[in-house]
């Protein structure tokens, strides 16, 4: 699991990556921000820090995932669940070690990143991003979620951005930070997002990008490079959140 948190008033941030023993990684990332002079802790160091902060260890595997991993390792196709067996391209790519083909297939799947942006009555913005990353990723792979500037960035003077999708794209482009930069240069929220997503399309790579964003005035937006998008919005005067339509930034 990977996570990051950033506050726009001070630009303080904390992040963790390659966490395999703890479930609430966004809380660990917050402790990194609040209790250390560091920005990012990974792997065993993140585990040791979480233990020192009193977090409870969890087994993040399930019986289903253990069965799938065992069946692939031992080449026992009949032990695979039906829904996974239909994705035979995963298995063949894993066995062949053809990583580009593997990731090309994986990039067409949906992602499980959780992005949250909050703003208080004083205009202070905070962005939190938490993810398990790409399924069946190569060991040690880290995406954009814990990388400040790539998957997460905010500045009270302009706004906040959180990304999901194929993290390698936003890492290469620093999508979250550049979107804020474009707002700093005078673009509207939608103009800034559109410019950032056109840069994603210009890479001409497989994979998709999605994001949510807010500007300093509290206007919100969501965007996708591949499909219609939406996001959920709630303020203190509302009893329940409402779904707001976003934009689909298509390749030019």
Question: Using CA atoms in the order 49, 51, 53, 58, what is the torsion angle rounded to 10 degrees?
Answer: 110
Report which secondary-structure segment, H or E, holds 165. Answer: strand 159-165
CB contact at 8 A, 209 and 224: yes
Look at the alpha carbons of 96, 208, 131, 240 in this order and tell me if their dihedral is positive or negative.
Answer: negative
Catalytically active residues are: 113
| CA 40/CA 45 separation, integer angstroms | 10
Structure tokens at 173: 């482009």
CB contact at 8 A, 193 and 211: yes
């Amino acid at each position: 699991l990977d996570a990051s948190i950033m506050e726009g008033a001070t630009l303080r941030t904390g992040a963790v990556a390659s966490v395999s023993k703890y479930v609430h990684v966004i809380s660990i990332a917050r402790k990194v921000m609040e209790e250390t002079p560091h920005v990012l802790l990974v792997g065993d160091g993140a585990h040791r820090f979480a233990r020192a902060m009193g977090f409870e260890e969890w087994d993040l595997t399930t019986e289903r995932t253990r069965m799938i991993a065992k069946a692939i390792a031992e080449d026992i196709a009949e032990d695979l669940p039906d829904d996974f067996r239909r994705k035979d391209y995963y298995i063949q790519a894993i066995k062949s070690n053809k990583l580009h083909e593997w990731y090309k297939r994986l990039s067409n799947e949906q992602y499980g990143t959780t992005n949250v942006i909050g703003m208080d009555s004083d205009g202070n913005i905070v962005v939190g991003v938490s993810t398990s990353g790409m399924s069946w990723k190569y060991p040690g792979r880290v995406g954009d979620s814990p990388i400040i500037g790539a998957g997460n960035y905010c500045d009270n003077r302009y706004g906040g951005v959180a990304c999901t999708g194929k993290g390698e794209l936003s890492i290469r482009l620093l999508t979250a930070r550049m979107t804020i930069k474009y707002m700093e240069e005078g673009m509207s929220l939608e103009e800034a997002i559109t410019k950032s997503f056109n840069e994603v399309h210009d890479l001409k790579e497989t994979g998709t990008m999605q994001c949510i964003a807010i500007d300093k005035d509290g206007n919100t937006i969501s965007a996708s490079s591949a499909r219609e998008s939406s996001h959920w919005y709630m303020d203190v005067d509302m009893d329940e959140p409402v779904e707001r339509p976003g934009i689909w930034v298509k390749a030019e």
